[in-house]
Amino acid sequence: NVGNAGGAWIGGVALSAGVSYADLPLVGAVLALLAVGVAVLSQALDRRAPVAALQPAAE
């Protein structure tokens, strides 16, 4: 939901800044590429994080 609201807001800002309706798909494509970049970076950082050793539960 946050992504949908953010995309609509950025689209509105782009239109207010003078971007034409024909160019809005380009704005969306740039945002999608940024999202993929954030996902790839997040996955890379997650793989570098050390994994704690599992301990048996205390009784």
Its pTM stands at: 0.69
Domain ranges of the chain: 2-47
Can you tell me the distance from the alpha carbon of 15 to that of 49, in angstroms, rounded to the nearest whole number? 41
Query: Is the alpha carbon torsion for 47, 48, 53, 58 positive or negative?
Result: negative
- pLDDT digit of tens for each residue in the chain (59 aa)? 888 899 899 999 999 999 999 999 999 999 999 999 999 999 999 888 677 777 888 87
Burial of residue 19, with CB atoms counted within 10 A of its CB: 0-12 exposed, 13-18 middle, 19 or more buried: middle
